[in-house]
Structures are given as C-alpha cells and as structure tokens.
Amino acid sequence: MDILYRSTRSDSTPITASQAILRGFPEDGGLYVPTFVPALETGLADLAKMDYRGVAYEVMRLLLSDYTEKELKTCIDSAYDCKFDTEEIAPLRKSGDAWYLELFHGPTIAFKDMALSILPYLMTTAAKKNGSGREIVILTATSGDTGKAALAGFAGVQGTKIMVFYPKHGVSSIQERQMVTTVGANTRVIGINGNFDDAQTSVKNLFTDKALVEEMAQHGMQFSSANSINIGRLTPQIVYYVYAYTRLLADGVIKEGDPVNYVVPTGNFGNILAAYYAKRMGLPVGKLICASNSNKVLFDFFTTGEYDRNRKFVLTSSPSMDILISSNLERLIYHISGDDAEKCAAFMKELKETGRYCITPEMRAQLGDFAVM
C-alpha cells in the first residue's frame, strides 16, 4: 500500500510521495505530512550489515513508496557516490564520551548535501513518473548553507532551473562567495535586503501567487521547493539517524534496542524532525535534544509551550540557526494535535497574525521525546 501525503492545514485529497516532492507544498500554505508513519521493516541487525546506500534504500522505500525499486536505487546511487569524499558517506566518530556523525563529507561541506544531493534525482524522477513534462523551477530561501548545497545539487540537471534568495547581510562571506560563484546555465543567486525569515516568507508568497503560477504553466514551467519543507529533503535525512544507530550496533557499542540520544543543532526544524520520524518508525531513540543559539524560539517553545517570534533577531556566528519562524515545527504541531489539520491551521493563523501561539496541555504532554539545550 502506498504511503500518501496530506496537508497539515486542510483535509484535501492525499497525494503520492512523488507528487508531493514535485509540488513542494500544498496550495493552502501548509506542509505535506505522511497519512501514517510506516515502521521499519528490515531489522536493525540486518541494517547494520548494509552500507549507506543499502540503509538509504531500506528507509526511503517505506516513505517514498510509489517510486519503483529501480527508480529509487538509481536516485540513491547517483547521489551517494564519489561526490562524497568517503565511502562511508556519513562516518561516525568518537570524541570524549560522545559520538559525532560527520555529515560534512559532501560536495559543499554543508550537511545539507546529505539531502540536496539526492533531491534533484527524486524530483526529475517524479516529473517523469507524473508525466508533467514541465520544466521545474526551484525557488529556495537560504540562510547560507542550503543555497550552495541546492545550487550544487541542481546545477546542470536537465529539466530544472534554480533561483536562490539569501539575506544580503545575513550569510558569511564564504557562503556568499560559494553561492555567487556557482557555474551552471540553470542557476540564479539573489541577495535580498532583509533576514532569512523575510526571504522565506517572500518565496512562500511567490509559490502561492495564483496568477504567477498560471503564467508559469503557460510557459511550460512549474515551481518547486528545495527547502527542508519538501519531503524529498526530509526523507533522506531520516536515513542517517538509522545509519548512525546501526553503526553503533555493528561496532558492538550498543545492543539492539538500547536507546540512543541525538543532539541536533536546529534552525528550521527539518533535521530534528527527521530524527523524530526515525523514532516513530521504530528506531530506539531516547531523547531528541534540540540545540538552539541566541535565537532560541525553539528552546523557549519546548520549555514553556509558547511559540513566540516577537523578539529581536540576533545575527550569530551560526547563521543557519538564525531563524525565528521554524517552518517544519508545523509538522510536529500537526502530529501532536492528533493529526488534526483544522487545529494546526488555527495555530498557524495565530502565528501569522500575532507572531505567537500557545499549545494545549494535552499537546505539551506529547513532547516527551524532546529535550533542549
């Protein structure tokens, strides 16, 4: 049976994974979520014997169930190849009492490579499967790392164009240079006056501009998104949590079933949400520890149950975490409200109008998987 995807904000008809990847997000402004979260089928001990590509297939086939085995394996093999500087793809290293999953071995050194190296393949495969025949125009807002990783992923990919918007004074000079020096006839990079939230909101407005979308269609083009709101980015991120666990298992550091805590530096809540889905798929995870910098909306949310973006935006040395509207949190809000799109939509409306919302005690009670730092 196919896993279908529906909006966090309305009860519109669910669509397949490939359709959701192609569209990016639903017209109602919500995000696509799986109608149910599948359990891992392959045992952890068996996964421990597989390489990164093998684990990737066993995890992703469950969530992207309308891709054929051949399609998905081609995407995985095209993404996780010698573009990465190690065959392990994501080596796990010990230092002191902690283990570090090295997600920086991809072409741009950003951990975003883990997902953005496969997204273009998932997307072009989705376009073929769904017979759209239209050129895909990727719009991406970036606080630094996503931009370069997305540009590297899509540069030169047939049937796609990519436009990246970044806050002119909100990324590091290395990141800016990485982006503006990208080669590729299908790439564009634009610095905006404003911060990341402004860039993200403006991109969202373009996506939902009906007249613009229609004009694009008349010219044989359609928008899609390479931001972490696309399930084509979220799904590949679930893989490395499972991979990390199974490496510990393979090395005899843990026994099957032992819980492992994951600390995740968090901005748009994509990476840690992938860990949450990994846990819901049956990975033995103890706590998901959400790490924030001075823009600590998420720290405060998990501590108090109130999300409040009405505060000063601080530019820090970790610009990828300088975010006051964590888009992917909407998916968690949807799930902890009992997969209730109406409730979720009400919270998001409140956020848009007042910049804050407060979840119910029942919802807070379901945040036990999370801790903060």
Ligand X SMILES: *Cc1c(COP(=O)(O)O)cnc(C)c1O
Question: Binding segment for ligand X among 48-56, 172-180, 267-275, 358-366 (CB under 6 A)?
Answer: 267-275
Q: CB-wise, 234 or 344, nearer to ligand X?
A: 234
Residue 272 CB: number of other CB atoms within 10 A? 26
- The nearest distance, CB 111 to ligand X, in angstroms, is 6
Does the active-site annotation cover 204? Answer: no
Which listed residue (91, 265, 282, 284) binds ligand X by CB under 6 A? 265
Backbone torsion region of residue 304, taken as left when φ is above 0, otherwise alpha when ψ lies between -120 and 50, otherwise beta: alpha
The pairing of beta strand 92-95 with beta strand 98-101: antiparallel
Rule CB under 6 A: say whether 266 interacts with ligand X.
Answer: yes
267 interacts with ligand X by CB under 6 A: yes
For ligand X, the binding residues in 134-153 under the rule CB under 6 A are 145
Query: What's the burial of 198, exposed, middle or buried (CB within 10 Å: 0-12/13-18/19+)?
Result: middle
Q: Interface residues for ligand X in 294-323 (CB under 6 A)?
A: 320-321
Q: Which stretch binds ligand X (CB under 6 A): 127-135, 217-225, 260-268, 354-362?
A: 260-268
Closest CA to 302 of 242, 250, 367, 356: 367
- Min CB(149)–ligand X separation in Å: 8
- Name the minimum Å distance from CB 253 to ligand X: 25
- Give the C-alpha separation, 370 to 203, whole Å: 30
First to last CA, the chain: 39
Answer whether 122's CB lies under 8 Å from 302's CB.
Answer: no
Closer of 222 and 327 to ligand X (Cβ): 327
Active-site entry in 112, 129, 279, 343: 112
Q: What would the x/- binding string for ligand X be over residues 212 to 251, using CB under 6 A?
A: ----------------x-----------------------
Phi, psi at 265, each rounded to 5°: -65, 125
CB 154 within 8 A of CB 129: no
Q: Is 270 among the residues that bind ligand X (CB under 6 A)?
A: yes
Q: How far is the CB of 363 from ligand X (least distance, A)?
A: 21
Phi first, then psi, for residue 306 (nearest 5°) are -110, 130
Residue ranges binding ligand X (CB under 6 A): 110-112, 145, 228, 265-271, 320-321
Active site residues: 112
